[in-house]
């Protein structure tokens, strides 16, 4: 078969080489570059058009395929074909004698080489007729049929299926063939726990590792079995099933592996074949960025909305120490669930942070280090004492929360009233020395820095009536300056300078005078970036020119 289709020469493959130089054989680089593939609306049945201007490859749709996906260069395609001259003379067919469909690696092998640019436009089950200029092979003999000079040839192609092939490390060390795709757009991260099933074989077919029927669970960062596993699993979606070809450098290398758990040894420098399925993912989120509050999601919640900051929530939980001593329960064993407002310091900071990220119905395990827990003090709780400097663990379920109106759901009056309230909350927090929390309140009024707040009540892109605009402009400037004062207290001088510069875009006389002093102080800080000078200028208390 290869000898037949290797004679169908087309420079169409050069385009694939130019766009995918790391994925195709070096010999294809000898082809002439510069093809241009036609981009046009999908064909209807019976329609025909040129799909490659350089090679003049034409495609006529005979039968629609399924779905929207198409194969890519490097994928393993399986198809039926029939080759004919324009007068209908057949010179080859995969169906002759009850033949099996042809399978080959698209763009790598010589099979149907001139049709590569056509096959990548096809859907599963589609049947199309391709017409290919045969200039390079005029006068050739294919399968006993003489191809007359200056003759075009045609291939009727049915795309049966294809397997997506991925070179995970771009060095041929881990080749992934996707046997069963997942409809979910969900992949694991480094901290996540995954449940997988696998079957590992040597080249001779001997099984050297296998999971029990229920699979095995582990954290991606911890690794499992061999170095290839975490690398491959991070590229998979939940429910995906793949076949891996793992070279020795990503398996057990020169050392190999001794026999264990009833499975034979893995010899030195062995290549492994792995059938691997990703059954489930438990997402793990570092809520503080320093691993001091870690949330592992055991059960996904409903919808897309989370509780967010400043939201009344209802939760039930079991709280315990690292030795599994339970010190508190809420909403269990006939007890009422706990109700509190997030970001109001009504519970420990770690539980507060976690609740603000949860969806209704979500069940998570939250591990809280002392900095975000009970600190260095001993605390007596309902069921046990929490010793000083204890890491605590909450298994918490978000029963319900009252979601505040989003800005897009408010009229202008509601936006302004809510913005005023958030500003006053920020001022109160500032005067209590809680600068980080205060800055988040100002962020909710109007986007202040590089952060992306969940809400932005009087965004600079908002539209207000003339009689509202002056008040809105004044409120924006005050929040920018108040946030700048928070940034100074947190020694974030560049952010403070940027925030104060925003007021120059709002030229309103009634706020100009109030911001001049603050601007002078910020510029002084910009000149030296000296913490001591800024503290002396701003003093320890809230500057009256800013916090208002």
Task: Enter the tokens of residue 469.
Answer: 């605009």
Task: Quickly list H helices, 402-543.
Answer: 412-431, 435-445, 466-489, 493-501, 509-528, 531-538
Residue 319 shares a structural domain with residue 417: no
- 308 exposure class (CB count in 10 Å sphere: 0-12, 13-18, 19+): buried
> Which CATH number do you get for residue 458?
1.25.40.10
Residue 304 shares a structural domain with residue 412: no
Confidence of residue 531 (pLDDT cuts 50, 70, 90): very low
The total of other beta-carbon atoms located within 10 Å of residue 264's CB is 14
3-class DSSP assignment, residue 207: strand
Confidence of residue 27 (pLDDT cuts 50, 70, 90): very low
Is residue 404's pLDDT more than 80? no
Please say which residue of 262, 280, 298 terminates a domain.
280
Structural domain count, the chain: 4
Confidence of residue 451 (pLDDT cuts 50, 70, 90): very low
Residue 98 shares a structural domain with residue 235: no
Rounded to whole angstroms, how far apart are CA atoms 245 and 274? 7
Task: Quickly list H helices, 349-411.
Answer: 349-355
Residue 416 shares a structural domain with residue 438: yes
Rounded mean pLDDT of 95-114? 83
pLDDT single digits (tens) 213-243: 999 999 999 999 999 999 999 999 999 999 9
In a domain, 544, yes or no: no
Rounded to whole angstroms, how far apart are CA atoms 155 and 214? 47
In a domain, 543, yes or no: no
pLDDT score, position 446:
77
Number of Cα atoms under 13 Å in the Cβ half of residue 62: 12
Rounded to whole angstroms, how far apart are CA atoms 451 and 308? 15
Length of the chain: 548
Rounded mean pLDDT of 28-54? 68
> Which CATH number do you get for residue 182?
3.10.50.40
> Which residue's entry shows tokens 């929530």?
313
Measured torsion, CA atoms of residues 511, 516, 521, 526, in degrees rounded to the nearest 10: 90
Rounded mean pLDDT of 501-518? 56
Residue 189 shares a structural domain with residue 296: no
In a domain, 389, yes or no: yes
Residue 470 or 29, more confident: 470
pTM above 0.85, yes or no: no
Rounded mean pLDDT of 522-540? 45
- 362 exposure class (CB count in 10 Å sphere: 0-12, 13-18, 19+): buried
Residue 363 shares a structural domain with residue 419: no
Q: Which residues contact 405 (CB under 8 A, 6 or more apart)?
A: 414
Residue 12 shares a structural domain with residue 145: yes
The total of other beta-carbon atoms located within 10 Å of residue 539's CB is 8
| Enclosing domain of residue 262 | 174-280
3-class DSSP assignment, residue 196: strand
In a domain, 548, yes or no: no
Is residue 283's pLDDT more than 50? yes
Is residue 57's pLDDT more than 60? yes
pLDDT single digits (tens) 151-207: 889 999 999 999 999 999 999 999 999 999 998 889 999 999 999 999 999 999 999
Residue 358 shares a structural domain with residue 430: no
Our CA angle for 457, 461, 462, nearest 5°, is 50
| Cα separation values, 13 from 18, 83, 111, 158, 198, Å | 9, 19, 12, 20, 36
Query: What's the longest Cα–Cα distance across the chain?
Result: 96
> Which residue's entry shows tokens 């599963």?
124
Residue 319 shares a structural domain with residue 300: yes
Region of poorest pLDDT, from 84-88, 247-251, 280-284: 84-88
pLDDT score, position 516:
58
3-class DSSP assignment, residue 6: coil
Rounded to whole angstroms, how far apart are CA atoms 236 and 178? 9
Is residue 369's pLDDT more than 70? yes
Of 258, 127, 283, 273, which is closest to residue 201 (Cα–Cα)?
Answer: 273
In a domain, 545, yes or no: no
The total of other beta-carbon atoms located within 10 Å of residue 262's CB is 6
pLDDT single digits (tens) 310-329: 889 999 999 999 999 999 99
Please say which residue of 141, 164, 187 terminates a domain.
164
Residue 338 shares a structural domain with residue 414: no
Rounded mean pLDDT of 7-14? 33
Please say which residue of 145, 164, 183 terminates a domain.
164
pLDDT single digits (tens) 470-488: 888 888 888 889 999 999 9
Is residue 301's pLDDT more than 80? yes
Confidence of residue 457 (pLDDT cuts 50, 70, 90): confident
pLDDT score, position 547:
62
Residue 275 shares a structural domain with residue 313: no
Residue 65 shares a structural domain with residue 126: yes
């Amino acid at each position: 078969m290869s000898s037949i289709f290797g004679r169908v020469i087309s420079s169409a493959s050069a385009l694939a080489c130019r766009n995918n130089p790391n994925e195709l054989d070096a010999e294809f680089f000898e082809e002439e570059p510069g093809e241009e593939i036609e981009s046009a609306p999908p064909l209807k049945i019976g329609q025909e058009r040129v799909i490659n201007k350089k090679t003049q490859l034409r495609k006529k749709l005979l039968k629609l395929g399924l779905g929207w996906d198409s194969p890519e260069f490097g994928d393993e395609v399986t198809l039926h074909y029939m080759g004919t001259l324009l007068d209908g003379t057949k010179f080859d067919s995969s169906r002759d004698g009850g033949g099996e469909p042809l399978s080959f690696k698209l763009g790598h092998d010589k099979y149907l080489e001139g049709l590569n640019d056509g096959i990548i436009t096809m859907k599963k089950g589609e049947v199309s007729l391709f017409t290919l200029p045969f200039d390079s092979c005029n006068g050739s003999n294919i399968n006993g049929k003489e191809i007359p000079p200056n003759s075009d040839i045609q291939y009727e192609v049915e795309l049966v299926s294809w397997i997506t092939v991925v070179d995970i490390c771009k060095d041929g060390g881990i080749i992934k063939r996707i046997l069963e795709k997942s409809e979910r757009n969900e992949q694991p991260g480094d901290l996540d726990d995954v449940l997988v099933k696998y079957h590992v074989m040597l080249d001779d077919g001997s099984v050297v590792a296998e999971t029990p029927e229920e699979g095995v669970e582990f954290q991606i960062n911890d690794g499992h079995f061999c170095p290839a596993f975490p690398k491959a699993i991070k590229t998979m979606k939940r429910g995906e099933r793949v076949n891996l070809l793992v070279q020795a450098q990503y398996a057990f290398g020169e050392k190999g592996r001794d026999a264990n758990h009833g499975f034979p040894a893995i010899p030195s420098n062995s290549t492994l074949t792995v059938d691997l399925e990703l059954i489930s993912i438990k997402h793990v989120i570092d809520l503080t960025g320093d691993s001091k509050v870690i949330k592992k999601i055991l059960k996904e919640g409903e919808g897309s909305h989370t509780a967010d900051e400043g939201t009344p929530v209802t939760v039930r939980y079991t709280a315990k120490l690292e030795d599994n001593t339970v010190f508190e329960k809420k909403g269990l064993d006939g007890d009422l669930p706990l109700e509190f407002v997030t970001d109001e310091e009504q519970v420990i900071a770690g539980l507060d942070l976690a609740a603000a990220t949860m969806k209704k119905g979500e069940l998570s395990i939250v591990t809280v280090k002392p900095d975000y827990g009970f600190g260095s003090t001993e605390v007596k709780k309902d069921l046990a004492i929490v010793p000083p400097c204890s890491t605590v663990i909450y298994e918490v379920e978000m029963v319900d929360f009252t979601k505040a109106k989003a800005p897009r759901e408010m009229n202008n009056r509601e936006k302004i009233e809510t913005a005023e309230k958030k500003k006053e909350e920020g001022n109160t927090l500032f005067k209590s020395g809680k600068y980080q929390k205060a800055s988040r309140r100002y962020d909710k009024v109007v986007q202040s820095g590089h952060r992306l707040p969940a809400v932005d009540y009087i965004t600079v892109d908002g539209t207000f009536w003339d009689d509202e605009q002056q008040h809105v402009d004044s409120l924006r400037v005050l929040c920018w300056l108040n946030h700048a004062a928070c940034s100074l207290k947190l020694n974030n001088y560049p952010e403070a300078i940027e925030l104060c510069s925003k007021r120059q875009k709002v030229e309103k006389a009634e706020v100009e005078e109030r911001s001049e002093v603050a601007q002078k102080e910020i510029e002084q800080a910009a000149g030296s970036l000296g913490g001591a000078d800024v503290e002396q200028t701003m003093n320890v208390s809230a500057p009256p020119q800013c916090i208002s």
